[in-house]
Structure formats: structure tokens, C-alpha cells
Amino acid sequence: MIRTQVGIVGAGPAGLLLSHLLHLQGIESVVVEARSRQYVEERVRAGLLEQGTADLMAESGVGERLKREGLVHHGIYLRFGGETHHIDFKSLANRCVVIYPQNKVVADLSDARLAAGGRIFYEADDVSVQDFGDANSQTRPRIRFRANAQPQEIECDYIAGCDGFHGVCRPSIPEGALTVYDRIYPFGWLGILAEAPPSSDELIYAYHERGFALLSMRSPEISRLYVQCAPDEDIHEWSDARIWDELHKRLATADGKWKLTEGPILQKGVTGMRSFVVEPMQHGKLFLAGDAAHIVPPTGAKGLNLAASDVLVLSRAFTEFYASERKEPLENYSKTCLRRVWKAQRFSWWMTSMLHLFNTDNAFDRRRQLAELDYVTSSRAASQTLAENYAGLPME
């Protein structure tokens, strides 16, 4: 039996950052992860950090590589009707964002945890959580699993469910204790990673009659590009040539001067899109953080950033509890997080609605979307709203 203060399920960004922040406060944790370290560190996912997330990494001592390799962006481009409009975060919100891939965030955090003697069980099988239901009970919660075919048990004061949308923690909470709010979108994104220098200094979000497209990047050598597709799109139907052809069409400018640089496609995949929130984000001695509690459609680039703000709130609540036995911040965890979560949900839904074609759309809806884009790019108030939400609302 292993004894610790906080048992953490999941070694994604939420679980590792929580473990790291707790360690800095002298609070012990053990992390249990279903996949291998290599799998977790190679998984291609998000790529954009709000300034607050990048600052949190730097202030907590895991920002060295981020500082060296992160690409600081001061705005984004919105492209529609073949015209390009810049939204300048610096002048509108005095903030920036940083391009830095999620797998590097995860690698930096796991390096830091392991270097500090932190315990992470990778490739854990049959993970389950028990005895967490009553916040005032003397019984301690447990995480059970098998590692190298051996049964293991962690006894802890609290459990943090950082195990993503398909994890085990949220479904372990008794039915009826949680309320789900969700929306599924009638499209997905087909994303590629290409060995091609990015064709733009900053991200381009393109509204087009063939569907949305996004040009992003991972480094000065690697582009990340997405096109709106069917939610159940068969990736085998998409040859590399077809993907590039679609990207050229959707990202084209009216004057034909802008060029998209192609390169070998290193990875491709389809992601479905949904909005999902569970309330409350806690039950007894179990706290849900990150994708375990909420999912956003990727258009606003909020998923990873919300995971970071959840665990910042949770780490502060644990710090307060272990320093002075004050339980109030823990009791208010969900309430504190949900205010920011819902604003990020609203923003992600709004960006998604403005930029994608919906199968119910008619000519009226298209004109309305174009009017919205025109307004956002011509009114300072509207572009400021976009800038302050995109670059990130305050963490607490």
C-alpha cells in the first residue's frame, strides 16, 4: 500500500501540472497513468498557450525550453471574402499567446516531476477510485490499479481526476450527483502536421464557402493545418494531394498573392467537436480537472489552457488546506473554476459558430456570419472582446 496526500489519475497536462505545483508547496502526490510515457509525450494535440499558461509554466520553474522554443504571437489573422484582417492582441488587450506544443508541455512537466523524485506509474491497468464519496468521512479514498501485473493501492487524503474525457473518475461518481451540459457539432476537423515552414507569421483562421480552415504551426519548420470536415470523416478518403488542394482553396486570398507552402505530411487525424461541462466539478473528496470535467470545440484553443487554470485553483486550495486546515477553498473549487470554464465555453462556441458552415445554414446565416466577421474586424470594441478572450481571461 502506498500512502500519499493527493492521488492523481492521469499524466496529461492537468495531472502533471497539478503534481508539479503541489510539489512546490511541499505537498506529496502520486500520479497513475494508463498509457506509456512515450505515448503520452508523443500524442499530437493542442499547440497554443495563453499568456497566463505560459507565465504559470515560467513562474513555476518549468519554462526554460518554452522560453527558448516557444513562438510568441501578438495576434491572429481572420481571413474571409478573400481578404485578411489582423487582430492585434498587443494593442487591444496588452497580451500575447505562445505557440508551444502540448507534447512538449507534457515532456517538460514529466521531466521536472521525475527529476524531483516524483512518482508516476505509467501503463497502469484497471484503474479504479474508491471511498471518496463523503467529504467528511474518516475513511481515506483509494486508487487501485495493476502495474506490471501486480495489484497496487494508493491511500490518499484526496483524489484529483485528471484523466481526460474518457477517464474513469467522472463515471465513478454516482449517477444523479452530476449534471451534464453538452452540445455536439455537426462537423469535425481534419488536422495535419507537415514538414513545411509556416506560410504566415501568425495563425490564420479562414471562413470559406467550402468550410473553415486554420493555419497554425509548431516551429519555424513545422506547420499544423486543419480543415472542417464531416464528424465521422474517413481519413483514408483524404490523400495528401486532396488535403493540400482543399487547404489551398480555403486559405486563398482574392488577389492570389498569398502562397501556402507544402511539405511532407508527418501525421493526420480527424477530431470530433463538442462542448461539454459537468457540474459540479467535485464530489466528496474527488476533484475533476481539465478534460475530465469539460470539453470545448478547438476553435478558441482553450482546452489545454482551461486544464491549467483548473489545476492552479486546485493547487491553491490544497495549499490552503494543508497550511491551515481551511477547507473553504476546496469546497468552493468547482464554483471558482466554473466561472472561467463557462466564459471559455461561450467564447469557443462563438468562434466555432462564426467560422464554420453548419448543415442547417441557409443564405441568411452565411450573410449573418460575414456581417459578424466584418463587425469583429472593424469595431475596436468587438476586436477587443475577441482579443481579451483569445489571449486568456484572468486565471482567478
123-182 residues in contact with ligand FAD (CB under 6 A) are 124, 127, 162-164, 166-168
Clarify whether 181 is annotated catalytic: no
Q: How far apart are the C-alpha atoms of 270 and 113, rounded to whole Å? A: 32
| DSSP state letter for 185 | E
From 20, 23, 73, 208, active-site residue:
73
Closer CB to ligand DHB, residue 19 or residue 299? 299
Count of residues binding ligand FAD (CB under 6 A)? 32
Closer CB to ligand FAD, residue 81 or residue 231? 231
Relative orientation angle of helices 333-355 and 303-324, to the nearest 10 degrees: 170
- Single out the residue of 389, 280, 287, 278 nearest to residue 340, CA to CA: 389
Contact 264, 192 (CB under 8 A): no
**Which amino acid is located at 287 in the chain?**
F
State the minimum distance, in angstroms, from the CB of residue 121 to ligand FAD.
Answer: 9
Exactly one of 298, 356, 357, 373 binds ligand FAD (CB under 6 A); which one? 298
Exactly one of 102, 275, 282, 345 binds ligand FAD (CB under 6 A); which one? 102
- Residue 299 interacting entry, from ligand FAD, ligand DHB, none, C-beta within 5 to 8 Å by type: ligand DHB
- Residue 283 interacting entry, from ligand FAD, ligand DHB, none, C-beta within 5 to 8 Å by type: none
From 101, 198, 297, 298, active-site residue:
298
* Contact string 300-319 vs ligand FAD (x = CB under 6 A): -xxxx--x------------
What CA–CA distances, in Å, run from 66 to 49, 347, 381?
10, 26, 32
- Single out the residue of 153, 183, 96 nearest to residue 387, CA to CA: 96
Give the interface with ligand DHB as residue ranges (CB under 6 A).
Answer: 46-48, 203, 216, 224, 298-299, 301
User: What backbone phi and psi angles, to 5 degrees, belong to 350?
Assistant: -65, -50
Q: How far from each other are the two terminal CA atoms of the chain, in whole angstroms?
A: 36
Clarify whether 298 is annotated catalytic: yes
Closer CB to ligand DHB, residue 34 or residue 193? 193
- Residue 338 interacting entry, from ligand FAD, ligand DHB, none, C-beta within 5 to 8 Å by type: none
Q: How far apart are the C-alpha atoms of 162 and 8, rounded to whole Å? A: 7
| ∠ CA 377-380-386, rounded to 5° | 65
Clarify whether 329 is annotated catalytic: no
Relative orientation angle of helices 303-324 and 51-59, to the nearest 10 degrees: 40
* Contact string 239-278 vs ligand FAD (x = CB under 6 A): --------------------------------x-------
Clarify whether 73 is annotated catalytic: yes
Closer CB to ligand FAD, residue 127 or residue 260? 127
**DSSP H stretches of helix in 4-127:** 13-24, 37-42, 51-59, 64-69, 89-93, 102-115
Exactly one of 228, 265, 291, 347 binds ligand FAD (CB under 6 A); which one? 291
Closer CB to ligand DHB, residue 47 or residue 164? 47
Closer CB to ligand FAD, residue 207 or residue 390? 390
E-state strands within 300-348: none
The residues with which 79 forms a beta bridge, in sequence order, are: 84, 206
Clarify whether 205 is annotated catalytic: yes
Cell of 165: 474525457
The DSSP element (H or E) to which 248 belongs, if any, is helix 240-251
Q: Return residues touching ligand FAD (CB under 6 A).
A: 9-15, 32-35, 40, 45-46, 102, 124, 127, 162-164, 166-168, 271, 290-291, 298, 301-304, 307
Catalytic annotation, residues: 73, 205, 298, 302, 390
